[in-house]
Amino acid sequence: MPDQPGKNAIEVRGVRKVFGTGEAQVAALDTVSVSIRENEFFTLLGPSGCGKTTLLRLIAGFDFPSAGEILLHGQDIAVLPPFKRPVNTVFQSYALFPHMTVAENIGFGLEMLGKPKAEIKARVAEMLKLVKMEALAARRTSQISGGQQQRVALARALAPQPKVLLLDEPLSALDYKLRKDMQIELKRLQHETGITFIFVTHDQEEALTMSDRIAVMSSGKILQVGSPRDIYDRPAERFVADFIGESNFLKADVVGVSVGKATVKLSSGVEIPASLPDGFTPNGKVTIVVRPEHAQLSATSSRASLSGTVENVVYLGTDTHFHLRLDDGEPFIVRRQNSRGVGDGIVQGGKVGILIGGDAAQVLKD
Ligand code: ATP
């Protein structure tokens, strides 16, 4: 999905969720507002305990907000019990019935809804095809692999044609290779069915691979919402830059501000351009972030933004990482693709210049 406005499937407005009372009170969600568009693959990403599952459970109707409202296609769903919401959930544990066959598991939700037999049969056949499980339709789910169980759980959740599918860390029980395959498979399923997927994970790579947009969460708040590219290239806060990918943080002084850009002075005295987070006007001292692959090395420090000493060179097949110590004592990492040539003249213990070009630096809000 391109990052342009579409119709909203879900609107979460000023939602708080508090557990416990008195001193034991925990705000699992601290006034969260977010809109999730129709037909998008939307991911809630954050560390353990940040409130991802709580938000998913409120949308599913397994729990109720302490304050705020949740709209589905513009309608307040607070009054609807889970089974009346056009929303379905795939759990981490799959929750399949082991004594039933693959086909029976997939048809179970439709049976519960009292759908006619012929309709169930046709829909199950369609779902088996969608998740490529036709050959195992008659097998019990206790006799299939973890990856296959995952496919059945997805087919069962998709069978009643929900408008929104909630997925709570559904890939975490799979091994690395299978998880990678299922990431692509899930993206295909979302694209083919056109259903809005809301996916929960603490795995940044998983979020970047699959999502149209990502909401980064920390301590019950949503810190930033954007496309994987926005979140990676333009993190608005230090937590986001730190949680996703590798980062170099530098102290700088703001010496000028224009639309969306600032000019900042580094500890070396050199001035460079840096992008600004939306709607943020900095002044005085700021922290900027530079991704390791967005900085360049040169064997001389003339015309460089910063200079330092090479402490370590780590060759990693496709890339080489240069661990540097800047002249002001701070660490800095530069990553270079080996297809662009390794090292030319840059050796451990040597002095180097670091070039931070036009689009490489981003000012952080905190
Ligand atoms: P994980 O990735 O570990 O599942 P999460 O981001 O999904 O974490 P939540 O399960 O939403 O986090 O929990 C958010 C906070 O609310 C945590 O501090 C958790 O301990 C607390 N919490 C969640 N459910 C309850 C509950 N039923 N009673 C009390 N506290 C709860």
Cα–ligand 1 centroid distance for 336 (angstroms): 39
Cα–ligand 1 centroid distance for 28 (angstroms): 6
Q: For the chain, how are helix, strand and coil distributed in percent, rounded to 5? A: 30, 35, 35
Which residue has a Cα nearest atom 24 of ligand 1?
A: 54
pLDDT digits (tens, 9 = 90+) for 47-68: 999 999 999 999 999 999 999 9
Rounded CA-CA distance 170/180 in Å is: 12
pLDDT at residue 138 tops 60: yes
Tokens (6 digits) for 34: 């977010």
pLDDT at residue 344 tops 70: no
Which residue has a Cα nearest atom 29 of ligand 1?
A: 19
**For a pLDDT cut of 90, what percent of the chain falls above it?**
71
Cα–ligand 1 centroid distance for 109 (angstroms): 28
Residues with Cβ within 8 Å of 182's Cβ and at least 6 positions away in sequence, in order, are 147, 150, 171, 174
Which residue has a Cα nearest atom 18 of ligand 1?
A: 49
Which residue has a Cα nearest atom 10 of ligand 1?
A: 53
pLDDT at residue 93 tops 80: no
Q: Is residue 100 classed exposed, middle or buried when 0-12, 13-18 and 19+ CB atoms within 10 A define those classes?
A: middle
Rounded CA-CA distance 44/29 in Å is: 13
Rounded CA-CA distance 151/132 in Å is: 8
Which residue has a Cα nearest atom 19 of ligand 1?
A: 49
What is the number of the ligand 1 atom nearest to the C-alpha of 20? 29
pLDDT at residue 4 tops 90: no
Q: How much is the average pLDDT of 325-340?
A: 91
Predicted structure pTM score: 0.90
Q: Which residues line ligand 1 (CB under 6 A)?
A: 19-20, 26, 28, 46, 48-54, 202
Cα–ligand 1 centroid distance for 34 (angstroms): 19
Other Cβ atoms less than 10 A from the Cβ of 276: the count is 22
pLDDT digits (tens, 9 = 90+) for 256-308: 999 899 999 999 999 999 999 998 998 899 999 999 999 999 887 778 899 99
Which mutation among 53, 63, 203 tests ligand 1's pocket best, with the greatest number of atoms within 8 A of CB? Answer: 53
Which residue has a Cα nearest atom 31 of ligand 1?
A: 19
Which mutation among 52, 202, 216 tests ligand 1's pocket best, with the greatest number of atoms within 8 A of CB? Answer: 52
